Amino acid sequence: MCEKDVAVLRLVCMEGVNSDGKKQERTVYGMGFKRKDCGAYVRFENEGGATLGMRRECVIEQDGLVFKDLAGCGELLPYEDWRLDAPTRAKDLAARLSVEEIAGLMLYSSHQLVPFRNMGPFAGHYAGGLYEEGKTEKWELTDEQKAFVCEDHIRHILLMKVDNADTSARWSNELQALAEGQPWGIPVNISSDPRHGAGAAGAEYKSTGEDVSKWPEGLGMTATFSEERWKQYAEAVSKEYRALGITTALGPQVDLATDPRWMRYEDTFGGDLATSIRMAKTICDGLQTTEGTKDGWGRDSIIAMAKHWPGGATGEGGRDAHYAFGQFAVYPSGNFENHTRVFTEGALALDGPTGKAAAIMPYYTVSWNQDQKNGENVGNSYSEYLIHDLLRGTYGYDGVLCTDWGITGDPEQEMDSFGSRCYGVPELSEAERHLRILMNGVDQFGGNDRMAPILEAYRIGCGRYGEERMRARFEESAVRLLVNMFRLGLFENPYLLPEESSQIVGAEEFVGNGRAAQRESVVLLKNKKNCLPLSPGIRVYIPKRKIRARKNFFRGLDPAQEIEPVQKDDDPRFVRTDSPEDADVAIVFVESPLSDPYSSEDAAKGGNGYLPLTLQYRPYTADAARRTSIAGGDFRETSANRSYQGKTNTAANESDLDNILEAKRVMGDKPVIVCLRVHNPAVMSEFEPYADGIVAEFGVQKEAVLDILFGDAQPSGRLPVILPANMETVERHCEDVFDDIEPYTDEEGNTYRFGFGLTY
């Protein structure tokens, strides 16, 4: 911990040397500040002012206060003066930076692992070797990380996986120390995709969070219908992130989820507009606000990067724009504006002092026929109308805009591939894609570790628009990016005490609130003859689950799986039996149907490759689908018609339904309880009549579900979705409308519409 304070200081500026090579020493006296040696760094506390943290004791004393000498010139520059406001400091520093240094600020790193174990497409090296060779500590920086900080000037880094809070804090300190030693001393802004979700998710690179508190996924937070829980969630995320060294959340995901088939549906707040607006406000406010500060920004604040402008949930047929076969977002009912309202009336209209989400991420999608200026159908970041005219112009947004990951690279030649997202502009060079995005008003490029394409874009822009305009455009983005870093206090003290981080991350308060939110998010849908709650000591049969081999997020093939839903002898409230005949009750754990909307095999046989995304388990033939798709057209396709009418698809987890039906057969009159994990709304007619009790959960730990089943918690969750009566109503609905789907009504007369839920 910190040692005793001292008021009179003798400081050594480590960067200063005499002509004979000896270190220069200078004595600084100040009665308005004190120094503490905190082990991981040195701290200076100004009386009534900023606290500074640094590895190199290179400071300036002025007016009885102490400031960092980040530029190393011995003179207090405006950007080093913590008494000035963030915009003033950012403008001063931006004007001093070279084009190369600004280009580095515009880069947002690829996904980083700490430590960098060999994992799929991700790789990192330590002194040329691998972590598995055992020659390095977990928190040491990789060769690649050192290079992109020092050579490419990257200061925005995406953290994917990290072992624990102690490792994360130490790694963060090493990054900050490396950055502190570079010209201008610009700190690192570490970001993360959501990592507090209790349920494993198949989309993106989400982590279940190591030792952070566990909360329901986005839909589950909605299912609590508790603004107090939403506030507690935001507080836990912001404080645990700061303790990990993370200062930007790549979220919340505020897309208005109007199509139930969308791959990323579970991460949203659902499709009800009023609820989504309220949640966007509450969570962005909670993430960004530090109580007791003048403008709301401070040591408890993190940047909220709300996503995905102008809304990415309306992919035709429910397909997702991570993939070229899902690039088109459609608006058959003309409901485009409602999707933007979650931003304009929610994330960009906060009630708290920070005012608006400090960053926005556009989605990959081509918002089909929504360009009212140029009539172009291009990816959102490439759209002058959607970014420059609408978001920057009409709505006056002046925060950071960051592309989604990997949109500037050349497209792959296969339609069924992972990295092909330069939608609508495949003919442009990589540098020209960067230039187009920059001139629209976007500031950062997600997943780009390379400075070269941005510098080439600058060169092309100077020839096209003039160097003065290009320099001004670069400085404009630099100011936006630096403002956020100044607001967070990173220039003053980016360092952490690992022991304190370990106490904050996973703190009892955060864990307890997360567990309570999990329980409150579970929805009781059916309770025939009051079969729930179950009695302690009851004998329970839980069948294993099976999932067929299927394409994964990266479009590789995952092998077939056999899953044990609850580990044996895991819960003292019941006795586990493998024999349904000996059981008093069957508890069948299932998840919503898993299907794939594109088949390269179908395309190879002369078809267009498209299949229906099905929300039922048994084979589904899409007779009610559109004969001609709304959107289409890609250089890799021979037809612009993406219709799948008349085609059949089957869920990879069809055996979930088999488990329910078999349990009902063998249990006879004894109750069958179905626990449905909802990624997407399921067609309930296939199994509801065979279930005596049904609970739905949206990404929680099994303990929370069992708490509800055994009455240790009262069910209070309500449906954040509409559970459809059949697939025909799904096919006939408009992708941009939430409530045009016929909800299912069960044998008890309950209709599974938005807001429904039973209790004991």
Predicted pLDDT of residue 569:
72
Asked which of 56-60, 299-303, 546-550, 712-716 is least confident by mean pLDDT, the reply is 56-60
Predicted pLDDT of residue 6:
36
Give 405-410 contacts, CB < 8 A, sequence gap 24+: 405/108, 405/110, 405/446, 405/447, 406/446, 406/447, 406/448, 407/364, 407/379, 407/381, 407/433, 407/437, 407/445, 407/446, 408/433, 408/434, 408/437, 408/445, 408/448, 408/453
Predicted pLDDT of residue 200:
60
pLDDT band at 121 (very low <50, low <70, confident <90, very high): low
Which candidate, 319, 349, 258, places its Cα nearest to that of 738?
258
- Distance, C-alpha 667 to centroid of its chain: 42
Let me know if residue 537 belongs to a domain. yes
Indicate the pTM of the whole model. 0.94
Predicted pLDDT of residue 32:
77
Residue type, 450: R
Let me know if residue 57 belongs to a domain. yes
SS (H, E, C) 647-668: CEECCCCCHHHHHHHHHHHHHC
Mean pLDDT along residues 464-485:
98
pLDDT band at 679 (very low <50, low <70, confident <90, very high): very high
pLDDT band at 312 (very low <50, low <70, confident <90, very high): very high
Which candidate, 235, 394, 380, places its Cα nearest to that of 321?
380
Predicted pLDDT of residue 420:
82
pLDDT band at 16 (very low <50, low <70, confident <90, very high): very low
Let me know if residue 212 belongs to a domain. no
pLDDT band at 7 (very low <50, low <70, confident <90, very high): very low
Domain containing residue 557: 515-732
Predicted pLDDT of residue 31:
57
Let me know if residue 137 belongs to a domain. no
Asked which of 84-93, 125-134, 375-384 is least confident by mean pLDDT, the reply is 125-134
**pLDDT higher than 90, residue 25:** no
Q: List Cβ neighbours of 620 (8 Å cut-off, separation of 6 or more).
A: 612, 614, 648, 649, 650, 727
Predicted pLDDT of residue 119:
62
- Total domain count, the chain: 2
> What percentage of residues in the chain have a pLDDT greater than 90?
88
Which candidate, 405, 401, 410, 463, places its Cα nearest to that of 438?
401
**pLDDT higher than 80, residue 14:** no
- Nearest 5 degrees, angle CA 433-CA 439-CA 445? 55
Query: What burial class does residue 68 get, using C-beta atoms within 10 Å of its C-beta: 0-12 exposed, 13-18 middle, 19+ buried?
Result: buried
pLDDT band at 19 (very low <50, low <70, confident <90, very high): very low
Question: Whole-number mean pLDDT of the chain?
Answer: 93
Let me know if residue 564 belongs to a domain. yes
Mean pLDDT along residues 644-667:
98
Asked which of 193-207, 210-224, 306-320, 542-556 is least confident by mean pLDDT, the reply is 193-207
Angle of the 452-465 helix axis to the 430-440 helix axis, nearest 10: 70
Residues 560-596: tens digit of each pLDDT: 999 999 987 778 999 999 999 999 999 999 999 999 9
Asked which of 55-59, 66-70, 105-109, 146-150 is least confident by mean pLDDT, the reply is 55-59
Predicted pLDDT of residue 205:
45
pLDDT band at 705 (very low <50, low <70, confident <90, very high): very high
Predicted pLDDT of residue 60:
94
Predicted pLDDT of residue 685:
98
Which residues, listed in sequence order, are joined to residue 526 by a DSSP beta bridge? 694
Asked which of 84-98, 183-197, 200-214, 245-259 is least confident by mean pLDDT, the reply is 200-214
What is the full DSSP assignment across 509-565? Answer: HHHHHHHHHHHHH-EEEEEGGG--SPPTTEEEE---EEE--EE-TTSPEEPPEEE-S
Asked which of 136-140, 273-277, 332-336 is least confident by mean pLDDT, the reply is 136-140
Predicted pLDDT of residue 201:
45
**pLDDT higher than 50, residue 21:** no
Which candidate, 187, 114, 113, places its Cα nearest to that of 149?
187
For the chain, the residue count is 760
**pLDDT higher than 70, residue 133:** yes
Mean pLDDT along residues 185-204:
83
Structure tokens at 731: 């096919």
Mean pLDDT along residues 644-662:
98
Peptide bond into 156 cis (omega under 30): no
Task: Please state, in angstroms and as integers, the Cα–Cα distance from residue 744 to each residue in 625, 726, 737, following that order.
Answer: 20, 8, 18
Asked which of 18-27, 249-258, 365-374, 469-478 is least confident by mean pLDDT, the reply is 18-27
> What percentage of residues in the chain have a pLDDT greater than 70?
94
**pLDDT higher than 70, residue 3:** no
Residue 545's CATH number: 3.40.50
Asked which of 133-137, 281-285, 428-432, 605-609 is least confident by mean pLDDT, the reply is 133-137
Let me know if residue 71 belongs to a domain. yes
Residues 643 and 314: their CA atoms lie apart, in Å, by 16
Which candidate, 173, 171, 221, places its Cα nearest to that of 196?
221
Predicted pLDDT of residue 476:
98
**pLDDT higher than 50, residue 12:** no
* End-of-domain residue from the set 31, 62, 83: 83
Let me know if residue 552 belongs to a domain. yes
Which residues, listed in sequence order, are joined to residue 54 by a DSSP beta bridge? 42
Let me know if residue 45 belongs to a domain. yes
Q: In what helix (H) or strand (E) does residue 696 lie, and over which residues does it extend?
A: strand 693-697
* End-of-domain residue from the set 52, 83, 114: 83
Q: In what helix (H) or strand (E) does residue 434 lie, and over which residues does it extend?
A: helix 430-440
